[in-house]
Each structure stands twice: as structure tokens, then as C-alpha cells.
A and B are shown apart, each in its own frame.
Chain A
Amino acid sequence: MEISFVIEKFILVAILFGITLVIAMYSTYAERKVAAFLQDRLGPDRAGPFGMFQPLADGLKMFMKEEITPTNSSKWLFMVGPGLSMLTACIGTAVIPWGSDMTIGDRVIPLQVTDINVGVLYIFGVVSLGVYGVMIGGWASNNKYSLLSAIRAASQNISYEIAMGLSIIALLLFTGTMSLREISDQQHGWNWNVLYQPLGFIIFMICSFAETNRAPFDLPECETELIGGYHTEYSSMKLGFYLFSEYINMFVSATVMASLYFGGYNYPGMDWVLLQTGPIIGPLIGTVVFFMKIFAFIFFFMWVRWTIPRFRYDQLMHLGWKVLIPLAIANIIVTGVVIALVEKF
């Protein structure tokens, strides 16, 4: 392993980490602004022009507050909960292809931290691990309401993971590969997977709303019913980690949706643009288009939050087990039959 390879990956990881944190930070700002505009009011607009420095003010506030640990909680688990949440949120971005290969001089730099050939399975595993942070937080708080909320969160997460996995299986039947780079390459130009798997996309989207504990599936953290849910007892930076990891999860979900179904860094007319702009700027334009798709999804997440009322727990379970799983299985069967028929002729 040459030193230049290590340096290149290191730089990629650092840039990616920085971008993830900045996007999560400004997602909090965008959430408040979008929520405000959807409700006929202004959001924060005092901290800097149009309130742009509000996330910095929020971050500073989080740092300055007092850290309170409940007396009878397990100290180690109390600290591990938010850390685990943040860890699983951040490592999800490692396998996503951010752009086509960049050629600087005679080096080809793939804009992806690592291209393992089980990329989809990796993302799936990381998303499943995300539920541990919530459960540990709820248990370690020594508060029966936090525990109740953590139980609800865990059950919600594992119920919707199944439907998510099943909808991805249909996609894998279609693409034939689990590597995210190859899935993105297959969606060259107009050939986005959502055109071939619309039902799968809808199921995947509903499940990713549930996985990120985002409205209308935000029962674990709804303030009207459970005060703060699993993060009631947390203060200062640990709370900051929980809230931040939720936004990072939202970012990663939007990224996965965009790269699996909406073509990732591909856009119609990309060959012409790549020819015009050369091997350095061309892939970066693909990356910019990718980010525009991600921001559109993040906006959609926020848009849905302020439109649909929250699900009741039994409605949530009914939807996850009795509606989405049969639909996903039907999707797999139909996809399989169609592919077999198409190959025959």
C-alpha cells in the first residue's frame, strides 16, 4: 500500500467527514427555516444575515451547558449511547460513490472512500446497528419513560428494516450487483432505477422515514407524549450527539435513496458535459448534481414532517408488518417474473 494511496483516502475521509458535519449542522438550520416557511412565519433570522449563524450559536450553546448524569444510571452505558449513535451515523457514508472517477495528472482517483462489493449490505448493517444507540440511551437513563420510548424506537426500527431489506432485494434482482459503484454506473444518463422499481422506491422511502425516526414515524421522540423520549435525561454534548446523529442519519438516508434509485451522480447529458469540462471538473459536476438530489430529498423529509400527523403505535406496527412486508414481497415476485420473462424473449 503506497503512501500516496493512504494520503488520498485520508483526504477523502476528512473531506467527507467535514461535509457530513456541515450538512448536518445546516440541516438543523434548514429544518427550522423550512418549517417556518411552511407555517407562514419566518425562521431564525437574527444570528447573522438570514440567521445563517444559528447552527453555530446552537453548537456553542450545546458546548456550554452543564453535563448532568442521573444518579442511578450506568455511567459507562450513559456515555456509550450517544457515541454509538454518532458512530453508526457517520460510518454509513463510507461506501457511497460521490462521483465518477477523477483523473488528476496520471492518477485516477475514485470519488469513493471504499468500493466494497457488498456495499448495499454494509449500509444495511450500519443502519441496523443504529438502533443500539437509541436502546442503550433509553436503558441507561434509568427513567421509565425513556425506556418506554427506547423500546418503541427499537421495535419500530426493526419492523421497518425488514421491509427495507425486502425492497432492496427486488432492486438487487434487477441490478445483479451489490456494489454501489456498479449500481450507480448502471444508471448512466436517464437510466435511473426509480423508473424500473417505482413501488420499491416508495417502500424504501417510507421505511427510511421510519428508520431515521422522522415524522410521521417519530413516536420515539415526540415531545407531546414522551417529553424527550429516549434523550430526556441527556444534556449538553451528549444530547447534541443524539440530535446531530439524527440529522446525519437523515443525510445518509437521502444519499442512499438518491444513489440507489435516482442515479447518484448521473444526470441526462452527462457525457457531453464530461467531454467539455475534462477529467477534473467533470466528475465534480456529477458530485454537485448528486448533492442537489440529496438536498431535494432532505427538503422532502422536512416537507413531510409538517404535513402528516404522527402515527399511533399500533398503526405503525400494522403498516410495517401487515402492509409493507406483503407489498415488498409482491414487488420481489413481480420483479422476478418480469426479469425472467424479459430474459426469455
Chain B
Amino acid sequence: MEPLTSKKKVLEQKPLTLAERLYLPAIGKGLAITFSHLFKKEATIRYPEEQREFSTNFRGLHSLKRDEEGKERCTACGLCALSCPAEAITMIAAERKPEEKDLYREEKYAAVYEINMLRCIFCGLCEEACPKEAIYLDGPIVPSDYLRKDFIYGKDKLVEAPLEKK
């Protein structure tokens, strides 16, 4: 059969020399190589004291954004919950009262907004689906915890950057 490429490789199988048949010199060379690795720098990153750098597109913890006047953008439209493949987002909408005009941008807002971090797969589809540019996945890695219920992040807890004025 014709060879598929024009590069032809001829395999030379010479019989082993005495030094090769002893195996001990080859083992000695191998030992020297392994020994030299003792003196090389380790590739380990000591987490959590050191951390790896993330790329600019890294998707971490969610945060619900505010606009320039400090009002919450999220209007509880539910598109993020609809697009979430893991069904991690739940919310309860509420009507804005007249005295809350500085808190929320539009008349509808999310009174309760919860993301279950154990369900979330950090795909970013909620960020793509949001029409108000309210949710972004720009936070750090979600830290570990002990109980399942502590992983349901509510509005006041860690989902938001709202409690600080941006």
C-alpha cells in the first residue's frame, strides 16, 4: 500500500549493546534526571495564600449591579431564572412604593432574589439574558461552607454589591 505522506520513517532496530543490556547505566541516567528535579522550583500554588490569576472573562460570583444614581437595576423580570440551565435562580417581585423611588430604577423590583450556589454552574447565561444589564458574574470563586442552606445566597448576603454605594 502506498504511504500516506511523503515522509518515510525507517525504524532502526539495532541489537542492544552491552551497556544497554545491563540496564544499570540507563537507570543511573534516569536517577540523575529525577534527582535534578529535587532542586527545581515546585509548580504548586499554595491556595489560599497564593491564588492563580483569572482571565478577564472568568465567571465567578454573581453581583446585582446598580446604575449611576445608585438605584438597583434588577426589575425581577425573570429572564435570568428562565435562562438558567440549572434552575438556580428564584425571585419574588414587588411593586415600588413612592418613598422607595431612590432605591429602585423601575416600578417593579425583586423583593427576594436567591441564587443556589450549589446548583449554579457559572455558565453566564443569566448575564447574557438580562435586559437591564443588572447581573454580572465578576466576583471571586464562591468560598466553601459546611451546610447546604448556607449556599443559597440572598439579596442581602453576597449576591449584591447594593449595600455599598458604587
- For the complex, is B46 an interface residue (Cβ under 8 Å from A)? yes
- For the complex, is B163 an interface residue (Cβ under 8 Å from A)? no
- For the complex, is A71 an interface residue (Cβ under 8 Å from B)? no
**Is the pair A304, B31 in contact by a Cβ cutoff of 8 Å?**
yes
**Is the pair B34, A41 in contact by a Cβ cutoff of 8 Å?**
no
Q: Which residue of B lies closest to A202 (CB)?
A: B24
**Is the pair A40, B31 in contact by a Cβ cutoff of 8 Å?**
no
**Is the pair A307, B30 in contact by a Cβ cutoff of 8 Å?**
yes
**Is the pair B42, A40 in contact by a Cβ cutoff of 8 Å?**
yes
Residues of A31-45 whose CB lies within 8 A of B: 36-42, 45
**Is the pair B43, A307 in contact by a Cβ cutoff of 8 Å?**
no
User: A39–B40 Cα gap in the complex (Å)?
Assistant: 10
- For the complex, is A303 an interface residue (Cβ under 8 Å from B)? yes
Interface string of A286-324 (1 = CB under 8 A from B): 000000000000000001101110000000000000000
User: A45–B40 Cα gap in the complex (Å)?
Assistant: 18
**Is the pair A40, B27 in contact by a Cβ cutoff of 8 Å?**
no
**Is the pair A308, B27 in contact by a Cβ cutoff of 8 Å?**
yes
**Is the pair B34, A303 in contact by a Cβ cutoff of 8 Å?**
yes
User: A303–B38 Cα gap in the complex (Å)?
Assistant: 10
- For the complex, is B37 an interface residue (Cβ under 8 Å from A)? yes
Interface size class for chain A?
A: 10 to 19
How many residue pairs between the two chains, A and B, have CB atoms under 8 Å in the bound complex? 35
**Is the pair B37, A38 in contact by a Cβ cutoff of 8 Å?**
yes
* Chain A residues, Cβ within 8 Å of B46: 42, 45
Interface string of B23-44 (1 = CB under 8 A from A): 0100100110111011011111
**Is the pair B31, A37 in contact by a Cβ cutoff of 8 Å?**
no
Contact among A42, A45, A303 with B31 in the assembled complex (CB-CB below 8 Å)? A303
Q: Which residue of B lies closest to A34 (CB)?
A: B38
User: A36–B37 Cα gap in the complex (Å)?
Assistant: 10
User: Separation in Å of the B110 CB from the closest CB of chain A?
Assistant: 41
Highest count of chain A CB atoms <10 Å: which of B33, B35, B42, B46? B42
User: A303–B37 Cα gap in the complex (Å)?
Assistant: 11
* Chain B residues, Cβ within 8 Å of A307: 27, 30-31, 33-34
* Chain B residues, Cβ within 8 Å of A308: 27, 30
Interface string of B44-79 (1 = CB under 8 A from A): 101000000000000000000000000000000000
* Chain A residues, Cβ within 8 Å of B44: 41-42
User: Separation in Å of the A30 CB from the closest CB of chain B?
Assistant: 13
**Is the pair B38, A37 in contact by a Cβ cutoff of 8 Å?**
yes
Contact among A41, A45, A304 with B43 in the assembled complex (CB-CB below 8 Å)? A41
User: A69–B42 Cα gap in the complex (Å)?
Assistant: 42
Interface string of A13-53 (1 = CB under 8 A from B): 00000000000000000000000111111100100000000
Q: Which residue of B lies closest to A309 (CB)?
A: B30
* Chain B residues, Cβ within 8 Å of A36: 42
User: Separation in Å of the B24 CB from the closest CB of chain A?
Assistant: 8
**Is the pair A42, B42 in contact by a Cβ cutoff of 8 Å?**
yes
User: Separation in Å of the B121 CB from the closest CB of chain A?
Assistant: 29
**Is the pair B37, A39 in contact by a Cβ cutoff of 8 Å?**
yes
* Chain B residues, Cβ within 8 Å of A304: 27, 31
User: A72–B41 Cα gap in the complex (Å)?
Assistant: 51
Contact among A40, A45, A202 with B37 in the assembled complex (CB-CB below 8 Å)? A40
| 7 closest residue pairs by CB, A with B | A307-B34, A42-B44, A307-B30, A41-B44, A37-B38, A40-B43, A38-B34
- Jot down 29 A-B pairs with beta carbons below 8 A, ordered by A: A36-B42, A37-B37, A37-B38, A37-B42, A38-B34, A38-B35, A38-B37, A38-B38, A39-B37, A40-B37, A40-B40, A40-B41, A40-B42, A40-B43, A41-B43, A41-B44, A42-B42, A42-B44, A42-B46, A45-B46, A202-B24, A303-B31, A303-B35, A304-B27, A306-B34, A307-B31, A307-B34, A308-B27, A308-B30
Q: A307-B27, A307-B33 are in contact. List 7 more A-B contacts (CB 8 A).
A: A38-B38, A40-B40, A40-B41, A41-B43, A42-B42, A45-B46, A308-B30
